[in-house]
Amino acid sequence: MIRVGDINSLILFWVFWIIIAIWEEKRLVNRYQSQYTEYLTKIPFLIPYTKKLELLVSKIPLMNNYLFQIIILLFGYILFVLLFSIMIVTEKMLVFFFK
């Protein structure tokens, strides 16, 4: 059963995610394409994929492409679904153990 608090959390999450996506877009739009690759190389777990990412970034101009925004929103949706499901499972476990 879906509670009102769950719906409010969902709405707040999407508003928060859209604000962050717009802010990131405005922040990144003012940079040059070479700085995108510098930004991507600073993420430690992406270091083995740096050359592939540089090639991808050079082929897709992120400043004029909505594909980047769609990927960000899809990643946010997947992250939200995972966190929401973990929260629900944790709540069910706590209710079960502390009956």
- Mind listing the pLDDT tens digit for each residue in 43-63? 555 556 556 656 666 666 554
The domain containing residue 72 runs over which residues? Answer: 66-99
Shared domain check, 96 and 72: yes
Shared domain check, 83 and 58: no
pLDDT at 19: 76
d(CA 67, CA 73): 10
What does the pLDDT look like over 27-45, one tens digit per residue?
666 555 555 556 555 655 5
Residue 28 lies in a domain: no
Residue 89 lies in a domain: yes
pLDDT at 50: 58
Other Cβ atoms less than 10 A from the Cβ of 94: the count is 10
pLDDT at 13: 78
Shared domain check, 99 and 70: yes
Count of domains forming the chain: 2
Q: Is the model more confident about 94 or about 53?
A: 94
Residue 56 lies in a domain: yes
20, 73 in Cβ contact below 8 A? no
Shared domain check, 73 and 46: no
What tokens were used for 39? Answer: 């930004």
d(CA 85, CA 10): 12
DSSP state of 45: G
